Structure 1
């Protein structure tokens, strides 16, 4: 579904990603793990066409995405739920959700809204509430729900557990797993390695702009070197 080869990317003259290879197949949760500053958000921004890579290829469903606008990428079904939620605080929950179908999914807006309400019942209770007055966990649900309104074929999620309480983190990972079991492919960027590896099918570890480890998530979770040097176990 998604094929990334030799991706080099950064900002200005600063190269952050130095040749990334990555694949996501249909129906998978693929995790990209790394500490702050290793390039996870840079990867997301280039996949979503918010920036243009320095080199390499990005292919989605067999089509080259490099050079397309972010709107064209969304139209093809690759949807990005950004770090920090990026909701519209002065709009209602319903208005935020409806904006998710502005580019893609508009004909099925009502059906998609019903699906989001089924996944996130708390949002249904707050449809008229201003999004900025909700808790951090509810805002993260709203950001994911807005992404689902676009009928994604691949959903990129950037640090969905960031800033949440331990209880809400557990709930968030369970919701991600549920969405995947319904058939949605997910590329999950996270610092929370243990819980991410527990739900992912495969994973990549990024350090210093390179993929240093990759494989089945269950195997990586058991790897002695990874547990010692990265997970601190």
Structure 2
């Protein structure tokens, strides 16, 4: 579905990504791992059209995304759940979800809300509550639910476990696995390497703006050199 070749990107004159090649196939969870500052969010922002790459190609189902507006990219089914949730705190849960279908999925808004609250029953219990009063875990559920309202063909998730308690982290990874078993293709950016590799099909490790390692996620999790040098285990 997604083919990235030779992607160089950054901010102003500062280059963060220095020639990234990456693929996501239909029905896969593909993980991108790396510490803070290696370029995971920069990669997401360029795929989503929030920034334009310096050079390289980002193709989705054969069509070039680089240079397209973020609205056009959403229309194509590439949906980004950003780091830090970025919900609308002074709007209700329902209003946040409805905004998720503003560009894509409008015709099936009611059905999609029913699907989201089926996945996240805690949201249904608080439908009229202001989003800013939710706990961190509930806000993350809302952010993912808002993304699901756009009927994503590819769902990009940026650090979904960030700031959650250990119990909620387990719930979050279980949810990501469940979405994938229902057919959702996912590009997952995370620092939580062990739990990410446990659910992913393939993974890339970014270091200093380059892909330092890639391969089958289960094999990478078992690799003793990888565990020592990149996972700190």
TM-score w.r.t. length of structure 2: 1.00
Deviation at 1:222, TM superposition (A): 0.8
Aligned residues: 233
1:188 — aligned with what?
188
Matches within 5 A, 1:22-61: 22-61=22-61
The Cα of 1:231 is off from its aligned counterpart by 1.5
Q: Does 1:225 align with 2:225?
A: yes
TM-score with structure 1 length normalisation?
1.00
Unaligned runs of 5+ in 2: none
Secondary structure (helix, strand or coil) at the match of 2:204 reads strand
How do residues 9-158 of structure 1 correspond to structure 2 at under 5 angstroms? 9-158=9-158
2:11 is equivalent to residue 8 of structure 1: no
Q: What's the secondary structure of 1:150's corresponding residue?
A: coil
Matched residue, 2:176: 176
Secondary structure at the aligned position of 1:85 is classed as: coil
CA deviations on 1:70-115 (whole Å, 9 max, x unpaired) are 0000000000000000000000000000000000000000111111
State how far apart, in whole Å, the 1-side matches of 2:178 and 2:78 are.
19
How far apart are residue 229 of structure 1 and its match? Answer: 1.1
**Does 1:201 pair with 2:206?**
no
Q: What is the RMSD computed on CA atoms of the aligned residues? A: 0.4
Q: Deviations over 1:102-157 (max 9, x none)?
A: 00000000111111011001001011000000000000000000000000000000
Q: How far apart are residue 51 of structure 1 and its match? A: 0.1
Within 1, Cα distance between the matches of 2:7 and 2:111? 37
Residue 38 of structure 1 aligns to a residue in which SS? coil
State the alpha-carbon separation in 2 of the partners of residues 188 and 232 from structure 1: 20
How far does residue 209 in structure 1 lie from its aligned partner after superposition? 0.2
**Per-residue deviation at 1:66?**
1.1
The secondary structure found in structure 2 opposite 1:73 is helix
What's the CA shift for 1:203?
Answer: 0.2
For the residues of structure 1 that align with 2:162 and 2:230, how far apart are their CA atoms? 18
Superposed displacement of residue 224, structure 1:
1.3
